[in-house]
Amino acid sequence: MFSTLFFAFAAVGLPILALAALAGASASRPLRVAALGVAGIGLGASYLAGADLMGRPKPARLEVFQTSSEEARIVASHYVEGRAIWLWLILPGEEVPRAYELPWSRKAAEALRRAQAEAEANGTEARIRRPFRNSKADNEDDSAPVFYAPPRPPMPKKMAE
């Protein structure tokens, strides 16, 4: 029901409101007006910043809630050589894609392109294994392919006549 944006806004907004209430308890009228003004600006700015960030890809290294995901479907991708790889992923149990940014790697970009071409030929969607893994922290072999294409689904069985 509540999105991550709601909880982030509450985490920023509640302390701002508490500080404004403390300052508002002061006997000085100018301080009360200033506290309410700062609280209003702070709440407005935090809401606008959160709303703006919703449309931007999140760096994959900052993912906190989906770190145990074993794989994700790649809905779309885009990359700029030397800058970053952007992926729109559908995570397990989700229906809506989320945008992530991976650091640039020629090896990863080539593997992604191969997996997408193979998936198109197979009639499937490209996937990414452990999208939020940290190879150094997980002590994994960095040469293992991250992007892959699932095999072509089996043909339906013929009905007997």
pLDDT computed for residue 27 by the predictor: 65
The predicted pLDDT at position 109 comes to 94
pLDDT tens digits, one per residue of 110-142: 999 999 999 999 889 999 998 887 644 444 555
- What Å distances lie between residue 95 and 73, 77, 158, CA to CA? 11, 17, 32
CA distances from 130 to 18, 56, 118, 120 (A): 40, 21, 19, 21
Residue 37: its pLDDT value, please? 84
Give per-residue pLDDT as tens, 72-107: 999 999 999 999 999 999 998 889 899 999 999 999
Q: What is the pTM of this model?
A: 0.68
Q: Give the span between the Cα atoms of 124 and 113, in whole angstroms.
A: 14
Band of pLDDT at residue 34, cut at 50, 70 and 90 = confident
**Residue range 139-154, pLDDT digits in tens:** 455 545 589 998 887 7
Flag whether pLDDT at 51 surpasses 80.
no
Q: What pLDDT does 79 receive?
A: 93
Q: Who contacts 9 (Cβ-Cβ below 8 Å, separation ≥6)?
A: 46, 47, 50
Model pLDDT for residues 9-28, shown as the tens digit of each residue: 788 888 888 887 877 777 68
CATH of domain 59-148: 2.40.50
Mean pLDDT, residues 65-72 taken together = 83
The structural domains of the chain, with segments of one domain joined by +, span: 4-53, 59-148
